[in-house]
Amino acid sequence: MGLDELIVTRAIIETYTEKFLEYSDSDVAIVGAGPAGLTCAYYLAKGGAKVSIYERRLSIGGGIWGGGVMFSEVVVQEDAKRILDDLGIRHKPYREEGYYTVDSVELACSLGLRSLEAGAKIFNSITVVDVKVEGKDEKVCGLVINWSPVEMTGLHVDPITVGAKFVIDGTGHDATVARIVQDKLNKRLNTPTGKVIGERSMWADPAEQEVPRKTGEVYPGLYLIGMAATAAHGTHRMGPIFGGMLLSGEKAAKEILAKLK
Ligand code: 48H
């Protein structure tokens, strides 16, 4: 029996459409499949939540792949080692106590696979361009999305909307969703100035401690994780040490799972 190209076409379109429609209303919609977003998706899905991730690029992993200056290793500190163990991600102790290295390619692949296996769905090549809001307090209750190539080429094509009980901004340095709420809704965020402050210069030790601390609800229905939390709260950057990103994803997942129950 020969292969039929039209069957290939139909198989792809039908299966993707089914998947997309099933997740067009989720418990949690995460923007950005970086280390924080993927870790958060893993713990949420493992806890029974219906989770969708929208990622602008074709590839997942955000800033993981390049390690430090394209040397494809990242460092994870003692506090976050248990997350690597929990997810079965291999790591090596460095000769200085409390520092572990992880192959960055392996980290990106493993975080992606573990979150998918736990039940999260990743929609790549989709850019989040706005939020959906409802009620008197204009609570965030979904995302407005478009194909990334449409955004890149500036075609005049209207986006569509997906729903979620909680939205998570895991967009990294840009804190894109928090900025959308600040600029388009003209709302005060739960940060010291009410706005996205912008990250401070490198100081890894306090920076890493602050990432999980600053992780949380920044506006009704909107959570900040990872580097987006750092940027919004104006804390220090940390360079290629990734423990804070993993701990931040885990913390937001725990808080949201408690609210979903
Ligand atoms: C859909 C979007 C959109 C959008 C962006 O940058 P990331 O890796 O973010 P984190 O917070 O998980 O991890 C940060 C880490 O990688 C890092 O940069 C560190 C530790 N830096 C320290 C330092 O000192 O520099 O991932 C964010 C993801 C990316 O994949 C983007 O493509 C994606 O979000 N994204 N997806 N719609 N509007 N904006």
On the CB side of 210, CA atoms within 13 Å amount to 20
Quick check: is 90 in a domain? yes
Of 129, 122, 180, nearest to 157 (Cα)?
A: 129
Local confidence band at 3 (pLDDT 50, 70, 90 cut-offs): very high
Residue 10 counted as domain residue? no
Find the domain containing 251 and state its range. 29-260
7: CA distance to ligand 1 center in Å?
A: 37
Whether residue 218 is predicted with pLDDT greater than 90 in this model: the reply is yes
Evaluate whether residue 11 is within a structural domain. Answer: no
Neighbour tally for 187: CB within 10 Å: 18
Give the model's pLDDT for residue 1.
Answer: 81
| pLDDT given for residue 223 in this prediction | 98
Which residue spans within the chain are E strands per DSSP? 25-31, 51-55, 73-77, 92-93, 99-103, 121-124, 126-134, 139-147, 160-169, 200-202, 216-219, 222-224, 236-237
In a domain, 237, yes or no: yes
Residue 2 domain-assigned (yes or no): no
* Pocket, ligand 1, Cβ cutoff 6 A: 31-37, 54-57, 62-64, 127-128, 170-172, 174, 176, 226-228, 237-239, 242, 245
Percent of the chain with pLDDT over 70: 100
CATH of the domain at 52: 3.50.50.60
Q: In what order do the strands lie in the sheet with 99-103?
A: 73-77, 99-103, 92-93
Average pLDDT over residues 134-163: 98
Mean pLDDT of 84-93: 98
16 domain residue, yes or no = no
Alpha-carbon distance of 90 to 143, in angstroms, equals: 35
- Please state the pTM of the whole predicted model: 0.98
Task: Dump pLDDT digits (tens) for 11-62.
Answer: 999 999 999 999 999 999 999 999 999 999 999 999 999 999 999 999 999 9
Q: To the nearest whole percent, how much of the chain has pLDDT over 90?
A: 100
Inside any domain, residue 180:
yes
Residue 13 lies in a domain: no
Give the number of domains in the chain. Answer: 1
What does the pLDDT read at residue 114?
98
- In the reported structure, the alpha carbon of residue 175 is separated from the centroid of ligand 1 by a whole-number distance in angstroms of 9
- Alpha carbon of 144 to ligand 1 centroid (Å): 19
Task: Determine the average pLDDT of the residues in 232-236.
Answer: 98
Two structure tokens written together for 197: 């402050």
